[in-house]
Structure 1
Amino acid sequence: MSSKDWKTICAERKKKQLDSMPPEWIIDPPKSPYGSVQHVPEECGLLTTRELEITNTTDVDILLNMLATGVWSSVEVTTAFYKRAIIAQQLTNCLTEIFIDRALARAKELDTYLQEHGKVMGPLHGLPISLKDQFRIKGLETIMGYAAWVGEVSQVDSVLVEMLYELGAIPFVRTNVPQTLVWGETYNHVFGRTTNPFNRYMTPGGSSGGEGALVAMRGSPLGVGTDIGGSVRIPAAFCGLYTLRPSYERLPYANAVNAQEGQESISSALGPMANSLCAVKRFTKAIIDGKPWKKDPLVVKKPWSHEEYALSEHGDGVGMCFAIMWDNEVVKPHPPLIRAMELTKKALEAVGHKVVDWTPHKHLEIYENSERIYTADDGYDYRVECEKSGEPLIASMKLQDEQTHHYPLEKSMAKTILGEIKHLSAYELWQLQKEKRILRKSHLDYWESTASTTGTGRPVDAIISPAVASLACPHGTNSDAFYTSLCNALDLASTVFPVMFSDKELDTKPPPHKFRNNEDEAIYNLYDAELFHGLPVGLQLIGRTQEEEAVIAMTEVVDKALKAYKRV
């Protein structure tokens, strides 16, 4: 460990990052911390007409076809996205590692391969892919928001990075995370705070918030984040993106770094984030077709199932029954989310699907069980990493706050329901894991019992719900994660998809309801129709364990129905 104090370490590392940006790519960003910056890439003058065409191509299938046929070279596509990523960095502070020369050398290698062999190197040939700052890349630092990790250069690639190289992709930037990874927002002492490009006063979510902001700015055609409690789905919802949270061990996590390593009752999962649903499918299928179980011993040996993607267990996609969870009975969602669910219901019914209400099952028990598992070490892991440099543990994500150094997850609802958080013994943790299995079985039985009410002869095909109780909110106010962490606790494959934008005229604040807990009251008081106007509104689709193919396909059904309904 360096003898320098942590503030000096952070300042020097931030300067190194700034120095890695080409001077000719520096723009004059808007000074106001408020409002959208989505228009800046089009107007700043840095990107050529062709570069704007490339980076505005959100359909990854089109992008990959242009690369495969040589219409666009890998070098020019990578350069275009790199320039736009650097613009996004100046506007939202979304990046950590920038390695332009290395990425362009890889792109040149792919162009040469296409010319010499007349074919692509793999299914992701020439595609620049951004990565959350957990995925090791040999020869580069993996800092993950800790001052103590500055200067730790990786000697290996994570399995995901190995596979991306084999599939023809180009890892080209890494993105910002919160210190400890456990926040639904994105801020650390090394690289600073990431903001939401739709309104920089708001958070992009977390912990994959850097990915969310970058991809929303179209600074990357496809990003990869991780999710242990909602960390790809929350940023996707806040930033208007598509994403997938796969089941435990479906996609390769080996050799990536993490917080709380060794906690395996609720496993973290990696997931793609993009502006198109086809990108989510392309990435997931490419990784699974690459047989990741040959590189990561924990990955389930399950090849991509064309039959499941064709929805063979869901009526072949015809006349399905979706359930809507209007409210998880823990925290009531904000008005724009209610309107989004109403719109989704109408869209599905308009194309012949049935929509029923979903009554939550044992949610408070599941919440308490999962929170006690997450906090079983009473923050010991985080304190150890901070103590290595003397860096303080961040206790609030607010823009201006008085730091008090207690466990980051000690939020209002957790304190109300759990009481004091304590360091558990091994035996106490075993009892929680036992209880978790019982709760998963109970929830499965409950889901199966819906077969008697759907009218299809099958249980509910999927559940549609909010991903978060609010939209992107002011920094330091995102306390809700149970709509997403429910899926982590039960290991339910799930996606997030954009629906619409909030509207202050349509999404007025309702009168107070009977509050269930402190957080429910805080979320209600947070909502202001004017403040939240114009923000993306996304929803979550929840399927079954190890049902990634069907969950992607059902999300395509919902997405297609919504687009058709909005055109009418």
Structure 2
Amino acid sequence: MRKIAFTPGTRSLSYLFNDLTDVFKFRASEKLPVSRSEKLSWTDISAAKKEEVNARIPSEWLIPEDLLPPTSQTKVDDFVATSGFFTEGEIKITASSATDITANIVAGTWTAEEVTKAFCKSAAVSHQLVNSLTYTQFPEAITAAKELDEEFSKTGKPRGPLHGVPVSLKDNINIKGAPSTIGFVAYANEKEEKNSYLVDLLVELGAIIYVKTNVPTAMMMAETVNNIFGTTTNPLNRKLTPGGSSGGESALIASYGSPLGVGTDIGGSLRLPASTTGLFTVRFSGNRLPNFDFKAGMPGQEAIVSVQGPIARTLDDVILYSKSIIDSEPWFKDPKLYPIPWREIQLPQKLKFAIIWDDGYVRVTPPIQRALETTVAKLKNSGHEVVEWDNKPIGKVYNLLRRLFTADGGKTIRSQLEKGEEPAPKFMDNFLQSQEIGVYDVWQLQRERNQIWKEWLDQWNEIEGLDGIIMAAAPYISAKHSKYTHAGYTGLFNLLDYSVAVFPCGVIGDRDIDVRKADEPPELNDVDKATREEYDPNEIHGLPVGLQLIGRKLQEEKVLAMVGRVLEAVNAI
């Protein structure tokens, strides 16, 4: 039997189905044809899992050889619209927002079935181009869509505000009977016994669940790579990362394989992916959106809480998802949630923002600097007030973040790596080389965290009438694989537990404008130096810049409303 290793952007997948033998068929169903005494290596498990995902792609959705972009073609986010592999109807559906999808289905323009089929096909194509998926249930999704159409035909009423919307899920959200690998070989073939509550809730709201998406090992990296499924690439430039840990989501949505996705964020895991791919997202403060039964990379670590949230191509879709979940009163099912209903916000005509130009540790690259300067100028032109924020306290936060995340000495992550007998990824060194500390020391760290909370609250209150803060999501738009070395711009607000949105600010990277200046200030440290040296204006050419808008704790509705107001300013003629 000829061995075939599928890698995105090669011809191997199209031949896979001609060469599948009973061995691979058994592997895809997890009935591995090995003797009881023989134990599969992690590389065997990885190969089988990749084949399992690929084998579930129908042959008619395999990209024909004459249409398959060569590996040298870096931009593939326009493949659905320009390749000729999709019908005009499919192109229109997959380019639509979740908000418009529901409206068209309810109006009778589309059916949930044809919408679901279109997105199943585009998700399959996305995977072939950027390696975005870890699990698919295309037949089940199409069946669910047909049942939704039958229900709508009988009742004349949509099931809920997400009626007919295909929703993609990050790998750590449990679907009954499917693995939640969270990037560990040990969990590659462990089927979850029940759905996460959110999955059942989404179905109640009318959504169609159809795929799960790739994550880095333990979901603790600003890129998306693991020993099972490999590396997910950025469809805007496949030489670059789509961020992490919700990078499979951002890559899928940016390549039009999903209209709306759900991810999680513990250090920027929603905001970094959104910023690298021109998408919208919001990081809720802890205990507003349900996630208590998601699979965690470091279960029990709650000094810095992980939160779930939406990622989409429009602000309206982020609001639609957020309001739909909160309106369902999830605090009656998730024991950690605050019973805070959705609040309608009336903003003043003129807002007051503070600007953080950089974090004092790694300075921003030229396109990010230009985006900040342009956004500030346009806000002022629209009558809003912008003041400076003192970034000196940020260094204290970074030091505490590292100590809190490694308080167990890497024991949790190490045990999961050892269970799967897989090598430790290089990016896990900070965890695996740390020293475990005792309960007393953890309590002292949490006291320090609480004091930092108070210091930031005082600093905010000292600026009279301050509505929000604007800051870059990262010092760069994106980075080469293995070179995304600084996630502090987002992690800062995880420790503070602030409400934060990321939005594309309208500035696009330009190789002719966004060049390094001859009079740059001295490097701050080795990471700052490496960031400057790695910067290549050619790689970011044409890529959108995402910025963060930060509000106070539990002010998600206001933050999203302020993003709308900022977009009015930056889009004003």
- TM-score, length basis structure 1: 0.91
2: CA distance, partners of 1:303 / 1:540:
24
5+ long unaligned stretches in structure 2: 1-35
Aligned mates of 2:106, 2:195 — CA distance in 1: 26
Q: Deviations over 1:77-131 (max 9, x none)?
A: 1111111111111110011101111111111111111110010011111110000
Shift of 1:515: 2.3
- How far off its partner does 1:34 sit? 4.8
Per the alignment, residue 443 of structure 2 pairs with: 430
Q: Is the 8 A contact 1:204 1:238 kept in 2?
A: yes
Residue among 214, 218, 238 paired with 2:252 = 214
Q: 1:54 aligns with which of 89, 93, 108?
A: 93
Q: 2:114 aligns with which of 61, 76, 79?
A: 76
In structure 1, the residue matched to 2:187 is: 149
CA distance in 2, matches of 1:260, 1:49: 45
Contact kept, 8 Å, 2:77 with 2:256, in 1: the verdict is: no
The yes-or-no answer on 1:232 pairing with 2:266 is: no
Does 2:32 match 1:19? Answer: no
SS of 2:426's equivalent?
Answer: coil
> For residues 370 and 333 of structure 2, what CA distance do their matches in structure 1 show?
44
1:176-221 CA-partner distances (Å, limit 9, x unpaired) = 0011211100011111110001110111110000001001111100
Q: After TM superposition, list the pairs within 5 Å mapping 1:252-271 onto structure 2.
A: 252-271=290-309
CA contact (8 A) 2:80 2:256 kept: no
Aligned equivalents of 1:298, 1:103: Cα separation in 2: 30
The answer as to whether partners of 2:219 and 2:297 remain within 8 angstroms in 1 is: yes
Match of 1:303 among 338, 341, 359: 341
When structure 1 is superposed on structure 2, of 67-76 and 16-25 the one drifting more is 67-76
- For residues 434 and 55 of structure 2, what CA distance do their matches in structure 1 show? 43
Which of the numbers 469, 472, 475 marks the counterpart of 1:469? 475
Q: Aligned partners of 2:373, 2:254: CA distance in 1, in Å?
A: 25
How far off is 1:528 after superposition?
2.1
Contact (CA 8 Å) 1:509, 1:528: kept in 2 or not?
no
Equivalent residues of 1:325, 1:357 under 8 A apart = yes
AA matched with 1:50: G
Query: Which whole-Å deviations, capped at 9, do the CAs of 1:381-429 have from their partners, x for residues lacking one?
Result: 1111111121111114xxxxxxxxx62558xxxxxxxxx8321111111
Q: How many pairs does the alignment contain?
A: 532
Please name the residue that 1:41 is paired with. Answer: 80
Q: In the alignment, which residue of structure 1 is the partner of 2:409?
A: 378
Aligned with 2:509 (options 499, 502, 518): 502
Match of 2:10 in 1: none
Deviations along 1:481-513, one digit per CA (max 9) or x if unpaired, are 111001100001001001221001111102342
Q: Which residue pairs with 1:317 in the alignment?
A: 348
Other-structure match for 1:356? 387
- Contact kept in structure 2, 1:25 and 1:83, CA below 8 Å: yes
CA distance in 2: counterparts of 1:75 and 1:126, whole angstroms: 8
How far the C-alpha of 1:33 sits from its partner, in A, is: 4.3
Contact 2:74 2:237 in 1 (8 A): yes
Contact 2:280–2:314 at 8 Å: present in 1 too?
yes
Q: Which moved more, 1:260-269 or 1:343-352?
A: 343-352
Q: CA contact under 8 A between 2:265 and 2:271: conserved in structure 1?
A: yes
CA deviations 1:469-489 (Å, max 9, x no partner) are 111111010011111001100
Partner residue in 2 for 1:514: 522
Check conservation: 1:322, 1:461, Cα contact below 8 A. yes
How far apart are the structure 2 equivalents of 1:361 and 1:68? 52
Contact 1:351 1:561 in 2 (8 A): yes
Please say if residues 241 and 497 of structure 1, whose CA atoms lie closer than 8 Å, have aligned partners that are also in contact. yes
> In the TM superposition, what is the alpha-carbon distance from 1:447 to its structure 2 partner?
0.5
Q: Distance in 1 between matches of 2:546 and 2:379?
A: 16
Q: Is the 8 A contact 1:202 1:474 kept in 2?
A: yes
Instruction: Tell me if 1:171 matches 2:209.
Output: yes
1:236-290 per-residue CA deviation (whole Å, 9 max, x = no partner) reads 0001100001001110002210111100110001111000000000000000001
1:524-543 equivalences under 5 Å are: 524-543=532-551
Q: Choose which of 142, 147, 167 in structure 2 pairs with 1:129.
A: 167
CA distance in 1, matches of 2:280, 2:542: 18
Maintained 8 Å contact 1:176/1:211: yes
Asked whether 1:183 is paired with 2:221, we answer yes
Q: Could you tell me how far 1:346 is from its partner in structure 2?
A: 2.1
Structure 1 residue 56 displacement after superposition: 1.1
Structure 1 counterpart of 2:245, one-letter code: S
Match of 1:444 among 457, 465, 468: 457
| Aligned amino acid, residue 366 of structure 1 | V
Question: 2:399 matched to which residue of 1?
Answer: 368
Q: Distance in 1 between matches of 2:54 and 2:536?
A: 36
Counterpart contact for 1:128–1:171, Cα < 8 Å: yes
Q: Deviations over 1:46-82 (max 9, x none)?
A: 3111110111113x32222112222111001111111
1:414-425 paired onto structure 2 within 5 Å: 421-425=434-438
Q: Distance in 2 between matches of 1:475 and 1:33?
A: 16
Cα distance in 1 between the residues matched to 2:503 and 2:327: 24
- For residue 294 of structure 1, what is the amino acid of its counterpart? F
* More deviation, 212-221/342-351: 342-351
Q: Residue type matched to 1:189 in 2?
A: N
Which of 469, 476, 486 aligns to 1:480? It is 486
Q: Distance in 1 between matches of 2:184 and 2:349?
A: 49
1:378: Cα distance to partner? 2.1
Query: Aligned letter for 1:563?
Result: N
Q: State the partner residue of 1:556.
A: 564
* SS of aligned partner of 2:446: helix
2:6 aligned partner:
none
Which residue identity lines up with residue 43 of structure 1 in the other structure?
T
Q: Given the two structures, how large is their TM-score scaled by the length of structure 2?
A: 0.91
The answer for the alignment partner of 2:429 in structure 1 is 407
Q: What is the distance in 2 between the residues matched to 1:515 and 1:177?
A: 32
**Counterpart code for 1:548:** E
